[in-house]
Amino acid sequence: MDNRIFMFLGLFALSIIVLIVIISVPLDYMSPIEKLALLIVAFFFDSLAFSTRFYSYLFMPMLKQRRRNVVLNSEEAYWLSSSTDSIIHKEGEDYIATVFIKVPLYRSGTEMTDQEKFEFTNQIARIVSSSSSPARFTSQLHIMNKDEYISTLRGTASASESEEAGLLSRSAPDTEVNRIRGKSSMWHHMLDNVSRTISLELVNYVSVSASGIKEFEAIAAAQQRAREMMSAIAAVFGISPSVITGEAILRFVEPEYLIPYSTATEQITKSIREEVI
């Protein structure tokens, strides 16, 4: 039987017991005020019994820990499978593997006729109804991680500056110095532009999960579901979906990958500056 039912029955029984005590004990042995206090206790247990319908997962941790920050789970939420193509989550005794499939759809409404738009929405409806088991279809807009690009630009800009300094120290011809100066200025300008604005990227992906009593069983089942989903996507849109592997999965799971660190700090500095001004 479900834990929730046990909790409900336990709390309900407690409530009944307290109520029986209130009713059966004569007023000579228990004052009316004491009875009223016990009635409040009975109602408290009764309310808790009803709350198990939705919140049974909170009760045991709250009772055991008795503190303001209740730890429901101190483990990591998931881990990457050894094949790096899925994440594994443990739920009770079961393992749940989730596979992420990238859907490379790069079509825009601006380049479609009305008939194509109509067909496109029908294709989306067909894909959404293609899986018999639950599947999640996601459109994700996230901030591009430009850290690497910015550092490359910085390197190139400083290389140009060094080159300019070298030319000046060798008393090179003005035309040559001006050419390098222009190049250096171009890289600096590009660096300013790139770091001033945030760039957003829209990706579409599908995730499917499967459970198993062993880790490998869950992974195999999830991969099977992913293959079915990929063939459905390929058949409907005529594109080649691919399973996302390794660190790229984190972009769809971890919040810090949605807003890269450097962009976040830049964004915060900018908003503080605006507030101060």
- From residue 63 to residue 102, the character string flagging contacts with other proteins as x (rule: CB under 8 A) and all else as - is -----xxxxxxxxxxx--------x-x-x----x-x----
* One of 6, 53, 104, 155 touching other proteins (CB under 8 A): 53
Residues from 238 through 267 that contact other proteins (CB under 8 A): 253-256, 258-259, 261, 264-265, 267
| Residue 224 makes contact with other proteins by CB under 8 A | no
131 binds other proteins (CB under 8 A): yes
- Using the contact rule CB under 8 A, the part of the chain among 35-43, 170-178, 187-195, 236-244 near other proteins is 35-43
- Is the torsion defined by CA of 234, 112, 129, 100 positive or negative? positive
Tell whether residue 37 is a contact of other proteins (CB under 8 A). Answer: no
Cβ closest to other proteins, residue 89 vs residue 184: 89
Tokens matching residue 160 = 């140009």
Interaction between residue 234 and other proteins (CB under 8 A): no
Q: How far is the CB of 143 from other proteins (least distance, A)?
A: 6
Using CB atoms within 10 A of its CB, is residue 51 exposed (0-12), middle (13-18) or buried (19+)? middle
Looking at residue 252, its amino acid is F
Question: Other CB atoms closer than 10 Å to residue 36's CB: what's the count?
Answer: 10
Sequence-separated (6 or more) residues with CB below 8 Å from residue 44 = none
H or E stretch covering 57: helix 32-65
**Per-residue x/- track, 138-167, other proteins (CB under 8 A):** xxxxxx------------------------
Q: Is residue 55 a contact point for other proteins (CB under 8 A)?
A: yes
Render the burial of 63-83: b for 16+ CB within 10 Å, e for the rest. eeeeeeeeeeeeeeebebbee
